[in-house]
């Protein structure tokens, strides 16, 4: 099982289609209001400019999923060290990192990786 999946190729394909006119602003700048709120308040600053609006307002928002997480399943990571604490106490869960522009609403799944005691080391 892969421990890490990077979605850079999919991102490039979406941006290529956007620049060719196959996709519109509405297709690629469609971040859900809750995702935008999380990006503004708890997202980590990402390096570089937004690939759509060219502003330096990209944020990374992390969400965790896994049956063993119980009440934490599907929630946004909001505190420093929270992932490490979960990884030390749960056998396995997935973390999804979403790139979000808080200005134009661009969003794309950046990567997915597995964490937990099963993947320590």
The number of distinct structural domains making up the chain is 1
What letter would DSSP give residue 41? H
Q: How far apart are CA 14 and CA 72, in angstroms?
A: 31
Secondary structure letter of residue 46 according to DSSP: P
pTM of the model: 0.92
pLDDT value at position 121? Answer: 66
The string of pLDDT tens digits covering residues 71-117 is 888 999 999 899 999 999 999 999 999 999 999 999 999 999 999 99
Q: Which of 1, 2, 8 is CA-nearest to residue 111?
A: 8
- DSSP letters, 68-113, are GGGGGTTEEP-STTHHHHHHHH-S-EEEEEEEEETTT--EEEEEEE
What is the helix, strand, coil percentage profile of the chain, to 5?
A: 35, 25, 35
Note down the domain range covering 73: 4-119
Q: What are the pLDDT digits (tens) for 7-65?
A: 999 999 999 999 999 999 999 999 999 999 999 999 999 999 999 999 999 999 999 99
């Amino acid at each position: 099982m892969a421990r890490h999946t990077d979605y850079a190729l999919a991102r490039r394909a979406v941006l290529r289609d956007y620049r060719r006119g196959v996709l519109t602003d509405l297709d690629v700048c469609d971040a859900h209001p809750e995702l935008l709120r999380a990006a503004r308040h708890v997202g980590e600053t990402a390096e570089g400019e937004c690939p759509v609006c060219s502003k330096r307002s990209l944020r990374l928002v992390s969400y965790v999923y896994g049956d063993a997480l119980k009440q934490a399943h599907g929630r946004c990571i909001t505190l420093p060290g929270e992932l490490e604490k979960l990884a030390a106490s749960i056998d396995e869960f997935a973390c999804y990192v979403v790139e979000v522009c808080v200005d134009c609403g661009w969003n794309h799944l950046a990567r997915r990786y597995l964490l937990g005691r099963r993947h320590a080391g």
